[in-house]
């Protein structure tokens, strides 16, 4: 797959779902640093969906966009990093946001990126903080979540524990 100036490597066997007509899809990227800690950003308090909660890099798939194209775009928009490699599909889920909106489908991937991992170019209008989470810190990913809504925690836990 080619994105922008670089090429994104997709490992053999990585599944890429094809959205059906009319389905709303989102994508998420679990990004690890050299210590095998996962990156997450805290959504700002004024966000329409899940304000004040931790989230992985990602977002909605735009009309006419495929999932991996959306993944590359979201990684660059939200961090300034460039998607280099898609290692594996971690899960496909369905969820309804706390905004009362329609059912969304989400594909989350373990990825590798190029860029300075110590200096993400966060969208500060949308996010208030970032952190790297290892096994000892992942409990923090449940902060400000509704009871039983631990999707981000559970996603990252399958990679760092």
**C-alpha 53 chain-centroid distance:** 13
Confidence of residue 98 (pLDDT cuts 50, 70, 90): low
- The answer to whether 51 touches 58, Cβ cutoff 8 Å, is no
> pLDDT tens for residues 10-53?
999 999 999 999 899 999 999 999 999 999 999 999 988 889 99
> pLDDT tens for residues 103-159?
999 999 999 999 999 999 999 999 999 999 999 999 999 999 888 789 999 999 999
> pLDDT tens for residues 77-93?
999 999 999 999 999 99
Q: Rounded CA gap, 51 and 94, in Å? A: 19
Pick from 138, 131, 151, 122: nearest CA to 33: 131
Specify the pLDDT at position 134. 97
Percent of the chain with pLDDT over 70: 94
Structural domains of the chain, ranges and CATH numbers in brackets? 2-160 (3.90.79.10)
Q: Rounded CA gap, 125 and 24, in Å? A: 24
Q: Rounded CA gap, 41 and 143, in Å? A: 12
- The answer to whether 16 touches 66, Cβ cutoff 8 Å, is yes
């Amino acid at each position: 797959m080619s994105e922008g100036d670089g090429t994104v490597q997709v490992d053999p066997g990585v599944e890429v779902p094809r959205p059906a007509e009319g389905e709303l899809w989102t994508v998420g990227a679990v990004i690890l640093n050299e210590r095998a800690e996962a990156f997450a950003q805290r959504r700002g308090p004024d966000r329409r969906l899940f304000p004040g909660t931790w989230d992985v890099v990602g977002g909605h798939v735009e009309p006419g966009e495929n999932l991996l194209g959306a993944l590359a775009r979201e990684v660059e928009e939200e961090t300034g990093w460039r998607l280099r490699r898609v290692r594996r599909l971690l899960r496909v889920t369905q969820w309804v946001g706390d905004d009362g909106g329609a059912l969304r489908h989400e594909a989350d991937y373990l990825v590798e990126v190029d860029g300075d991992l110590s200096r993400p170019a966060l969208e500060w209008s949308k996010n208030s903080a970032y952190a790297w989470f290892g096994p000892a810190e992942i409990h923090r990913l449940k902060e400000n979540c509704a009871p039983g809504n631990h999707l981000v925690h559970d996603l990252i836990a399958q990679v760092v524990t």
